[in-house]
Amino acid sequence: MTPSKFAVTGGIGSGKSAVCRLLYEHGYPVFSCDEINRALLQDEEYLKGLAVLFPACFREGVLDKAALASLVFSDKDALEKLNGYAHPRIYDRLKAEMERAKTACFAEVPLLFESGKKDIFDGAIVVLREKEARINAVIARDSLTREEAEARIKDQFDYDGPLPKGCYVVRNDGDEEALGHAVDGLLKTLQEQHLI
Protein backbone atom coordinates (compact mmCIF):
# COMPACT_ATOMS: atom_id res chain seq x y z
CA MET A 1 0.00 0.00 0.00
CA THR A 2 1.24 3.50 -0.87
CA PRO A 3 2.00 5.57 2.26
CA SER A 4 -0.57 8.29 3.03
CA LYS A 5 0.15 11.92 2.15
CA PHE A 6 -1.38 14.70 4.21
CA ALA A 7 -1.52 18.44 3.61
CA VAL A 8 -1.15 20.72 6.64
CA THR A 9 -2.90 24.00 5.90
CA GLY A 10 -4.49 26.98 7.62
CA GLY A 11 -4.55 30.74 7.42
CA ILE A 12 -1.49 32.94 7.63
CA GLY A 13 -0.24 33.08 11.23
CA SER A 14 -2.18 29.98 12.32
CA GLY A 15 0.89 27.92 13.31
CA LYS A 16 1.25 25.52 10.37
CA SER A 17 5.05 25.50 10.69
CA ALA A 18 4.86 24.74 14.42
CA VAL A 19 2.54 21.78 13.73
CA CYS A 20 4.86 20.52 10.98
CA ARG A 21 7.86 20.80 13.30
CA LEU A 22 6.05 18.65 15.88
CA LEU A 23 5.14 16.06 13.21
CA TYR A 24 8.80 15.98 12.15
CA GLU A 25 9.83 15.47 15.78
CA HIS A 26 7.49 12.43 15.81
CA GLY A 27 9.64 10.98 13.00
CA TYR A 28 7.47 11.70 9.96
CA PRO A 29 8.86 13.16 6.72
CA VAL A 30 7.64 16.76 6.35
CA PHE A 31 7.78 18.86 3.19
CA SER A 32 7.10 22.55 2.65
CA CYS A 33 5.66 24.48 -0.29
CA ASP A 34 7.37 27.61 1.06
CA GLU A 35 10.77 25.87 0.98
CA ILE A 36 10.13 24.69 -2.57
CA ASN A 37 9.14 28.24 -3.51
CA ARG A 38 12.39 29.56 -2.00
CA ALA A 39 14.36 26.98 -4.02
CA LEU A 40 12.52 27.99 -7.21
CA LEU A 41 13.47 31.62 -6.57
CA GLN A 42 17.12 30.48 -6.98
CA ASP A 43 16.30 28.74 -10.28
CA GLU A 44 17.31 30.72 -13.39
CA GLU A 45 14.60 29.28 -15.67
CA TYR A 46 11.89 29.95 -13.11
CA LEU A 47 13.07 33.55 -12.63
CA LYS A 48 13.09 34.13 -16.40
CA GLY A 49 9.40 33.22 -16.56
CA LEU A 50 8.66 35.44 -13.57
CA ALA A 51 10.49 38.35 -15.24
CA VAL A 52 8.25 38.02 -18.31
CA LEU A 53 5.13 38.19 -16.11
CA PHE A 54 6.33 40.90 -13.68
CA PRO A 55 9.07 42.96 -15.40
CA ALA A 56 8.51 45.93 -13.05
CA CYS A 57 9.48 43.74 -10.04
CA PHE A 58 13.00 43.15 -11.36
CA ARG A 59 15.88 45.58 -10.81
CA GLU A 60 18.79 45.00 -13.20
CA GLY A 61 17.75 41.39 -13.64
CA VAL A 62 17.32 40.71 -9.91
CA LEU A 63 13.89 39.99 -8.42
CA ASP A 64 12.76 42.58 -5.86
CA LYS A 65 10.74 40.25 -3.60
CA ALA A 66 9.28 43.14 -1.58
CA ALA A 67 8.02 44.81 -4.77
CA LEU A 68 6.45 41.55 -5.96
CA ALA A 69 4.79 40.94 -2.57
CA SER A 70 3.50 44.51 -2.47
CA LEU A 71 2.05 44.16 -5.98
CA VAL A 72 0.32 40.81 -5.55
CA PHE A 73 -1.18 41.66 -2.16
CA SER A 74 -2.71 44.85 -3.56
CA ASP A 75 -3.84 43.56 -6.97
CA LYS A 76 -6.01 40.43 -7.24
CA ASP A 77 -5.24 39.91 -10.95
CA ALA A 78 -1.49 40.01 -10.26
CA LEU A 79 -1.93 37.49 -7.41
CA GLU A 80 -3.88 35.14 -9.71
CA LYS A 81 -1.21 35.50 -12.38
CA LEU A 82 1.56 34.67 -9.88
CA ASN A 83 -0.36 31.70 -8.45
CA GLY A 84 -1.12 30.43 -11.96
CA TYR A 85 2.61 30.44 -12.72
CA ALA A 86 3.99 29.31 -9.34
CA HIS A 87 1.49 26.70 -8.11
CA PRO A 88 1.89 24.08 -10.88
CA ARG A 89 5.69 24.22 -10.53
CA ILE A 90 5.57 24.05 -6.72
CA TYR A 91 3.12 21.11 -6.76
CA ASP A 92 5.17 19.21 -9.37
CA ARG A 93 8.21 19.37 -7.09
CA LEU A 94 6.17 18.61 -3.98
CA LYS A 95 4.60 15.51 -5.56
CA ALA A 96 8.02 14.24 -6.65
CA GLU A 97 9.42 14.73 -3.11
CA MET A 98 6.44 13.05 -1.44
CA GLU A 99 6.56 10.08 -3.83
CA ARG A 100 10.02 9.26 -2.46
CA ALA A 101 8.75 9.04 1.14
CA LYS A 102 8.78 5.48 2.50
CA THR A 103 6.23 6.20 5.26
CA ALA A 104 3.21 8.44 5.74
CA CYS A 105 4.28 12.05 5.22
CA PHE A 106 3.02 15.58 5.66
CA ALA A 107 3.37 18.76 3.60
CA GLU A 108 2.88 22.34 4.71
CA VAL A 109 0.59 23.79 2.02
CA PRO A 110 -0.43 27.41 2.73
CA LEU A 111 -2.99 27.84 -0.11
CA LEU A 112 -4.43 24.34 -0.31
CA PHE A 113 -8.11 25.24 -0.82
CA GLU A 114 -7.35 28.30 -2.98
CA SER A 115 -5.22 26.18 -5.34
CA GLY A 116 -7.83 23.43 -5.71
CA LYS A 117 -5.18 20.75 -5.00
CA LYS A 118 -6.82 19.09 -1.98
CA ASP A 119 -7.45 15.90 -3.99
CA ILE A 120 -3.76 15.09 -4.51
CA PHE A 121 -3.56 14.35 -0.76
CA ASP A 122 -5.13 11.56 1.28
CA GLY A 123 -6.25 14.06 3.90
CA ALA A 124 -6.10 17.72 4.92
CA ILE A 125 -5.14 18.90 8.40
CA VAL A 126 -6.37 22.41 9.12
CA VAL A 127 -4.64 24.46 11.82
CA LEU A 128 -7.13 26.89 13.37
CA ARG A 129 -6.26 29.84 15.61
CA GLU A 130 -8.16 32.88 16.86
CA LYS A 131 -8.02 35.70 14.29
CA GLU A 132 -6.53 38.26 16.68
CA ALA A 133 -3.68 35.88 17.59
CA ARG A 134 -3.05 35.28 13.87
CA ILE A 135 -2.90 39.02 13.15
CA ASN A 136 -0.44 39.57 16.01
CA ALA A 137 1.71 36.63 14.89
CA VAL A 138 1.90 37.92 11.31
CA ILE A 139 2.73 41.47 12.43
CA ALA A 140 5.56 40.16 14.66
CA ARG A 141 6.92 37.65 12.12
CA ASP A 142 6.76 39.70 8.92
CA SER A 143 7.09 43.26 10.31
CA LEU A 144 3.77 44.24 8.72
CA THR A 145 1.28 46.88 9.77
CA ARG A 146 -2.05 45.70 11.16
CA GLU A 147 -3.75 46.78 7.91
CA GLU A 148 -1.30 44.74 5.81
CA ALA A 149 -1.75 41.66 8.01
CA GLU A 150 -5.56 41.97 7.84
CA ALA A 151 -5.42 42.40 4.04
CA ARG A 152 -3.41 39.17 3.67
CA ILE A 153 -5.86 37.28 5.87
CA LYS A 154 -8.80 38.69 3.87
CA ASP A 155 -7.23 37.43 0.61
CA GLN A 156 -7.16 33.85 1.89
CA PHE A 157 -9.76 31.12 2.29
CA ASP A 158 -12.15 31.98 5.14
CA TYR A 159 -11.09 29.64 7.95
CA ASP A 160 -13.78 31.08 10.24
CA GLY A 161 -16.45 29.63 7.94
CA PRO A 162 -17.29 25.99 7.20
CA LEU A 163 -14.37 23.79 6.17
CA PRO A 164 -14.43 21.35 3.24
CA LYS A 165 -15.61 17.84 4.18
CA GLY A 166 -13.20 15.36 5.69
CA CYS A 167 -10.67 17.78 7.20
CA TYR A 168 -8.84 17.05 10.45
CA VAL A 169 -8.66 20.08 12.73
CA VAL A 170 -5.81 21.05 15.06
CA ARG A 171 -6.60 24.02 17.32
CA ASN A 172 -3.72 26.34 18.18
CA ASP A 173 -5.22 28.58 20.85
CA GLY A 174 -2.89 27.77 23.74
CA ASP A 175 0.82 27.47 24.35
CA GLU A 176 3.37 25.14 22.74
CA GLU A 177 2.54 22.35 25.18
CA ALA A 178 -1.17 22.53 24.34
CA LEU A 179 -0.30 22.41 20.64
CA GLY A 180 1.86 19.35 21.29
CA HIS A 181 -1.13 17.60 22.91
CA ALA A 182 -3.33 18.56 19.95
CA VAL A 183 -0.82 17.04 17.50
CA ASP A 184 -0.58 13.89 19.66
CA GLY A 185 -4.37 13.63 19.46
CA LEU A 186 -4.29 14.05 15.69
CA LEU A 187 -1.69 11.29 15.27
CA LYS A 188 -3.71 8.98 17.53
CA THR A 189 -6.80 9.56 15.36
CA LEU A 190 -4.86 8.88 12.14
CA GLN A 191 -3.39 5.69 13.66
CA GLU A 192 -6.81 4.49 14.78
CA GLN A 193 -8.06 5.03 11.22
CA HIS A 194 -5.04 3.04 9.92
CA LEU A 195 -3.90 6.03 7.86
CA ILE A 196 -0.40 6.19 9.35
Domain range enclosing 81:
5-188
What's the number of domains the chain is made of? Answer: 1
Residue 196: inside a domain: no
- CB-based contacts of 97, cutoff 8 Å, min separation 6: 31, 36
User: What's the pLDDT at 65?
Assistant: 92
Per-residue pLDDT of 44-69, as tens digits, reads 999 999 999 999 999 988 999 989 98
User: What's the pLDDT at 91?
Assistant: 94
User: What's the pLDDT at 63?
Assistant: 95
User: What's the pLDDT at 24?
Assistant: 97
pTM of the model as a whole: 0.89
User: What's the pLDDT at 112?
Assistant: 93
User: What's the pLDDT at 146?
Assistant: 93
Residue 193: inside a domain: no
The CATH code of the domain that includes 61 is 3.40.50.300
User: What's the pLDDT at 148?
Assistant: 86
Which class for 13: exposed (0-12), middle (13-18), buried (19 or more C-beta within 10 A)? buried
Residue 162: inside a domain: yes
User: What's the pLDDT at 144?
Assistant: 87
SS (H, E, C) the chain: CCCCEEEEECCCCCCHHHHHHHHHHCCCCEEEHHHHHHHHCCCHHHHHHHHHHCHHHEECCEECHHHHHHHHCCCHHHHHHHHHHHHHHHHHHHHHHHHCCCCCEEEECCCHHHHCCHHHCCEEEEEECCHHHHHHHHHHHHCCCHHHHHHHHHCCCCCCCCCCCCEEEEECCCCHHHHHHHHHHHHHHHHHCCCC
User: What's the pLDDT at 151?
Assistant: 85
- In tens digits, what is the pLDDT along the chain, a chain of 196 residues? 789 999 999 999 999 999 999 999 999 999 999 999 999 999 999 999 999 999 999 998 899 998 998 898 888 899 999 999 999 999 999 999 999 999 999 999 998 998 888 999 999 999 999 999 999 999 999 888 999 889 888 888 999 889 998 899 999 998 999 999 999 999 999 999 999 9
Residue 194: inside a domain: no
Cβ atoms of 14 and 159 within 8 Å: the answer is: yes
Residue 153: inside a domain: yes
